[in-house]
Structure 1
Amino acid sequence: MSQRHPLSWREPWPLVQALAAALGSEGLVWLDGDGSPQGRCSRLGLAPLEQRVCRGLPGQAGAEDPFAELAALAEGGGHWMGWLSYEAGAWVEPASHWHHPDMALLWAARHDPVLVIDHEAREQWLEGEDPTRLAAFATLLAGLDLDGAGTHTPADPPQAAIPPTAWHWHTPPERFAEQVAQILSWIAAGDLFQANLTACCEHQLEGAADPLALYGRLRRACAAPFGGLAIAGAAAAGEAVLSASPERFLRVDGAGLVETRPIKGTRPRHRDPEADADAAADLVCSPKDRAENVMIVDLLRNDLGRVCVPGSIQVPQLVGLESYRQVHHLTSVVQGQLRNGLTAIDLLRACWPGGSITGAPKIRACERLHGLEPVPRGPYCGSLFRLGSDGSFDSSILIRSLLLRGQRLRAHAGCGIVADSDPGGEAEELGWKLQPLLEALA
């Protein structure tokens, strides 16, 4: 049975730095909220008790079904956190339209205890099932010197800055616009209704990577309600996910209430209040962005309908404006009640990959996108997740995210394409989304 040990409040970033210095960052997972209503609480796990890794696609030697592995973890109990990659969709819809992932398809770690941070109430506590470990972590936390050696401030991280010109683009803006035009031709022919096209750039770091320092820059510049950091250990050592995502994928509480919060529609923020208000109004009044959002809501209602009680699916918020530090978004909320006998992993499999980062029809969109995107998405467009010992589940859509593999760092972003999309405008929107990430590291 889980126990709670209350702690005195200390600022999260110095606290995480000090804990990583004391316990090591390998296996660290930080599901990092921004203090907003959706990002009220953060959860941090270090020094995991065990880890699980799945790699490979169906039919490949040694490949393992990540959904079956997650189901086994859920049945075994404990508090698990980690990532699931976009290409896990090959285990839902086996076909040739999936890139071979070059990062772990699933990486998950079991932590006991977990540090919980309530940003709004300014409260912190440990949650754990092993009283001995709970007491040991509490003693460690009480003795931490947050001003001592082994920590660094987010204003002066040891990781070298990355100039914007140092990034290599796999899909330059002009090529992205051409790909948008190709998708528009498929939409005109009735082959698709919508597709979420993505692009990425990468940089080869000099020297050893410091994912915690990189994430410190990212969270300072791009705080988000579903941000987070996962630094893999064991069989996935050298891999890490750094995210500033504003989008929840799926949440299931202990009573089986399901929620998803798809985002479609984006405008950049402006320092001038009048210009900023105009941008928000333009987004709210845009027929193109509203249609894109509603289309994905319909897709997700269908996905949830596979595993939810008939008649339970509701849309309490349709195309609502939500504003973040760098951008305005249109967000909808879809809810349902999970059927008796089904679990969060059944829900995850029924909805994977997320509708907001694929398109409609989903399978056809995945096929077409595979032919346009030159590299695997990996954890990008996948999910950072938390699986509780009580059957609860929460997860993000990994947009606005950086992927680290060894010394290779990738930044990804994407745009939803519908019939009245403008190729040049979509390429510009891609820049709005990637620019804050690149500037944070510069």
Structure 2
Amino acid sequence: MTPEAGIRAVEGLLREYAPRALAIVASRYRDFDGAEDAVQEALIAAAEQWPAGVPDDPRAWLVTVASRRLVDAYRSADARRRREREAWDDREAPAADEPVTGDVDDSLTLVLLCCHPALTPGTAIPLTLRAVGGLTTREIAAAFLVPEATMAQRISRAKATLRAAGGRFEPPPDDARDARTRSALHVLYLMFNEGYVASEGDDLARPDLAAEAIRLTRMLRASLPADAEVAGLLALMLLTEARRQSRVDDAGRLVPLPAQDRTRWNPVLIAEGVVLLTDAMRRGEVGEYQLQAAIAAVHDQAPSYADTDWTRIAGLYRALARLTDNPMVGLNAAVAVAMTDGIPAAMEHVDAASAVLGDHHRVHAVRAHLHELAGEPTRAADEFRAAAARTANEAERRYLADAASRLSGSAGEEAAGISVADVENGGSAPTP
């Protein structure tokens, strides 16, 4: 293995184990803020030491090092003397060197802690993405369409608010669980979206993050089997994840939906997602995640792109728009509207979304696709170039730039199909 490959492997391990280590340390010492700082120090140490040899149990290594750092912090800071006594006097609190055993995973409890009622959804969600999902502040800012500095301030305020409210690492009371669950669903949804199409970097996707979102959502559904929206979100993730293997070619280039090899779609995940969705919608409590899953199911069950039931998809988008005022819903609906009601109607959707989203690269990409469908290659190429200049994901940028070059070089070429801006699962990004 080359040194570069070794570093990437270590980064993958840190991404996988950091949230689990944080959950354990926060549970032991009942101090989320201090635990997060200690785990960050452990991650720095791991990044320096692991390239020379990864420990047999990476999670236990991180927990041990973070626990030592946290106890050292308690001992050295006079303001934390009381916490130190509580940590050492509490019979249930293990020593810093106590080994990590078993398969106990407190990640879901950590999610619900970050969705504490003292926090607004606008601060709870970024905090959870940072603590549990392992996203950087820059990635979270991109997901929320705000500057990085603004998001850093939100996360800092969330931690301070949680600390002042006395948030404890324990399951929420029954009367608060519904509200926390709704916030947790949004967090997991955003986490999966970032894993499916990364906001930045060389690769289109981050499979590890998507897998973690699915894992946590499965845990949530096991705890709340009667909640239709929990089942709907899990169905959405599975139906979307089923297409992962066909979304890039061997060179890592993005493959648009019309060109994807549907024989590479995962039939097991599709079947599980359809069963989950069907059972959830039979309960008569249809929510936005179920509707998005239904859109994904229509795509997944179409034998070919030409056989896609665009009328059904457009109807589901209309139902989704009645539940949420998220501008990404209207933007994602534009392609379906173009297929059913024509290009002018679709452009109205894009213009309405643009009034909120501004110069976002997905706005330009959808416009480009619609101009291409309308037989306007020059305008389409201009919009594709604008979209390419505004995305931080290199795989998306290459696809968009190639589309601009293709249209500039062959004005009469037939439209290539859906653009990356049309999120295949019918998903939508959070409003700022």
Superposition TM-score, scaled by structure 1 size: 0.26
- Considering Cα pairs closer than 8 Å and 6+ residues apart, tell me whether 1 or 2 has the greater RCO: 1
Greater helix fraction, Structure 1 or Structure 2: 2
Greater strand fraction, Structure 1 or Structure 2: 1
Which of the two has higher C-alpha Rg?
Answer: 2
